Amino acid sequence: MSLQNPVFIPGPTNIPEAIRKACDMPTLDHRSPEFAKVFNPAVSGVRRVLNMDEGEVILLPATGTGGWEAAITNTLSRGDRVLAARFGMFSHRWIDMCQRHGLDVQVIEAPWGQGAPLAEIEAALRADTAHAIKVVLATHNETATGVRSDIAGIRRALDAAGHPALLFVDGVSSIGSMPFDMAGWGVDVAVAGSQKGFMLPAGLAILGVSPKALSAMANADLPRTFLDFRDMTKAYAAGGFPYTPPVGLIAGLAKSIELLEAEGLDAVYARHARFAEATRRAVAAWGMRPCAASPDLYSDTVTAIVVPDGCDGTELVTLAATKYGMAFGVGLGDVAGKVFRIGHLGMLTDAMLLSGLAVAEMCMADLGWDTRLGSGVAAAQDYLRATPSAVLDAAA
């Protein structure tokens, strides 16, 4: 794998040089007032990106998976019921985690390529007249299939059913790249990771926690120590951290938000939508289709591409890495081998995206797939030329 080439996996993403430099800092006493100069801008910036109007931002030395575990262990007790739809690898993994913690998971099965099934979720909530369901789990952007779910629709389902359950959202591959409205959607815990839209190395779980979720801590009895929100909020009130924090990553997070806001969050989201559409134009020119079942489900951060019959998406990803030094995403779970994935989030430019599409085409030709060299690149070029956009400053 060549470190000179951009990556096209849906995270970790390419790191802007300004963020890399922000993370590269001297040792800082995290119990000194100097730490607050790094920590406070990061926390306040996350609030703005999530559109939080109350509650707490929690930064944990972990990945998104650690953020999921923190969400459930801080708010639930063994035997509590949660409601979740399974429609991809990451919704599956959240369900698996809950089951390992002894929670009673009510699973709604949906085809991979579909989003969260709103009607079935609402029906399950209406049927739960005793309000045994404590939490509804939702994956905003299912990275395995390139599917975006309607989180506002899940909030409407909760409200229509008059159900008091908490709403937890996995926004790991959407937050910072696609619109996210924690306040407007009534999200109680939002989980993000540093290595996706924030364009940092992996190592930070980033959570927004509502007052309702914070109050649930009083009765939650699942074990937690390192991930305990009570320790975090107590330390925050004193201006610190309950243990040694990853100061460099937190400094990088503050810089990331500075860059995102300098570009303008609406412009960031429009840029991701533009690259996603250019990628889909290329996919159509190849005679293929996204795994997402319909346009309203298309992700703006990753496109999972269904490969032709008789072809293996994993072979393409392997060849791209070994022959051309470029990284794409393999298919996972039920779509393993059936798709390959192009991540188009974080630090990306027109030229970078086109390089990835060109390498994908070369791999198809090398493997003998029925695809004409240049067809997808040309389709993407036509679209990008017709929809000019400013180059991301962070890439400079």
Q: Is 346 within 8 Å of 271 (Cβ atoms)? A: no
pLDDT of residue 390: 60
Say whether both 342 and 272 belong to one domain.
yes
Say whether both 232 and 142 belong to one domain.
yes
Rounded CA separation 317/323 (Å): 10
pLDDT of residue 389: 76
Rounded CA separation 42/206 (Å): 10
The pLDDT tens digits for 222-235 are: 999 999 999 999 99
Q: Which two tokens stand for residue 78?
A: 């063994």
Q: Is 7 inside any structural domain? A: no
Residues β-bridged to residue 82? 105, 135
Q: Is 6 inside any structural domain? A: no
Say whether both 254 and 128 belong to one domain.
yes
Q: Which of 261, 294, 324 is the last residue of a domain?
A: 261
Report the CATH number that the domain containing residue 379 is assigned in CATH.
3.90.1150.10
Q: Which two tokens stand for residue 81?
A: 């019921």
Domain holding 216, by residue range, is 17-261
The pLDDT tens digits for 235-279 are: 988 778 899 999 999 999 999 999 999 999 999 999 999 999 999
The pLDDT tens digits for 139-171 are: 999 999 999 999 999 999 999 999 999 999 999
Q: For helices 350-366 and 265-285, what crossing angle results, to 10°?
A: 20
Say whether both 257 and 314 belong to one domain.
no
Say whether both 313 and 300 belong to one domain.
yes
pLDDT at 394 over 50: no
Q: Which two tokens stand for residue 158?
A: 């909760």
Say whether both 363 and 246 belong to one domain.
no
The pLDDT tens digits for 186-225 are: 999 999 999 999 999 999 999 999 999 999 999 999 999 9
